[in-house]
Amino acid sequence: MTARTTPRAAGHDYYERLAAAQVAPLWRIPGTTDPEPYVEEVPHVWRWRELVPLLHEATQVMDLGVDQADRRALNAHNPSRRFGTTHTLVAGYQLVLPGETAPAHRHSPGAIRFMLAGSGLTTVEGEPVPMEPGDLVLTPADTWHDHRHPGTEPMIWLDGLDVPFVKQMRANFYEDFPGGGLQPLTRPERDGELRYGPGLAPAGPKPEVNHSPIMNYRWEVAYQALTRLAETGADPYQGVRLEYTNPLTGGHVLPTMACYLSLLEGGVATRALRHTSSTIFCVAGGSGHSIVGGVRLDWEDRDFFAVPPWTWYEHVPDFGVETVLFSMSDLPLLEPFGLYREELA
């Protein structure tokens, strides 16, 4: 009977020959037998009071639509990454000054805007979409969109895009509007809302979706719905929580991103949970801190912070302060493949 030949007996050049053959031994590939996800991204908070001065300073560095770019935005990259707030999503603040316009373009990544200061318009597929503080505005994948600021105060919002995911899938495309400049207005203001309603429903399991036909989810409508729901009680893990929904399906607003609004009672900490989806939270009002992966993240009005996938987190709003958190999640990317998992403490 012939003795079994081991890699050691086969020679010290065994692994070099494997590399030359463009193969790798499974027993040497890190993570192949990990009992749960290995997460490189780390918890982190980006602060309004620190970044907004830098955003305004950008107005002295570049003119919108004239110099290096047609958008004035600061993207937040996770300390563990060169690009991306999480491994699938990127968030950041964007600024448009009074009288400025941002030319129309479209791209395969989808985007959301959560309005934080000032007011103005985003035009989406010919529909003028008002932007007021607290509004959620959609610019779904491959839709023409531009920004217009007829007001008197700088307008700033939180961008959220699925660019890291789309790039990983090698599916990123970009196109400027033919002839440049702004797109023509072909639909009345708030056309989507007038046709389909406010688009809010209690969060929970939803069917498969395409993007929502509503481009603007108004703060006044969302907040009223949130306070009405609060009368029925709060979830110990998420507080009082609503999902912005696609009125045609009851599902998520975009195929790659889900958006939520949560109300937390002052001084009442949520219980810890973790899930395989990553989440970016933005403070729509109030103050407090979150414990994310054992790290304390203090936050206040208009700050935003990242919760990596499969990382324990809990929120602790300050006493005597009503706290509202807006959040965006990559949950829709996981659901079709049965990859979403949640664990409660």
Give the separation between CA 114 and CA 132, rounded to whole angstroms: 9
Percentage of the chain lying above the pLDDT 70 cut: 93
Read off the pLDDT of residues 156-177 as tens digits, 9 standing for 90 and up: 999 999 999 999 999 999 999 9
Averaged pLDDT for residues 24-51:
92
pLDDT band at 8 (very low <50, low <70, confident <90, very high): low
What is the reported pTM?
Answer: 0.91
Structure token digits, residue 293: 């992966």
Name the 3-class secondary structure at 126.
Answer: coil
Give the separation between CA 300 and CA 313, rounded to whole angstroms: 17
Do 272 and 316 contact (CB within 8 A), yes or no? no
Name the 3-class secondary structure at 318.
Answer: coil
DSSP 329: E
Segments making up each domain of the chain, as ranges: 44-344
Name the 3-class secondary structure at 18.
Answer: helix
Residue 208 predicted with pLDDT over 50? no
| CATH H-level superfamily of 44-344 | Jelly Rolls (2.60.120.10)
Count of other CB atoms within 10 angstroms of residue 32: 8
Question: DSSP letter string over 71-102?
Answer: --EEEE--TT-SS-SSSS-EEEEEEE-TT-EE
Q: How far is CA 271 from CA 235, 277, 287, in A?
A: 9, 18, 18
What does the angle CA 66 – CA 73 – CA 174 come to, to the nearest 5 degrees? 70
- pLDDT for 41 equals 97
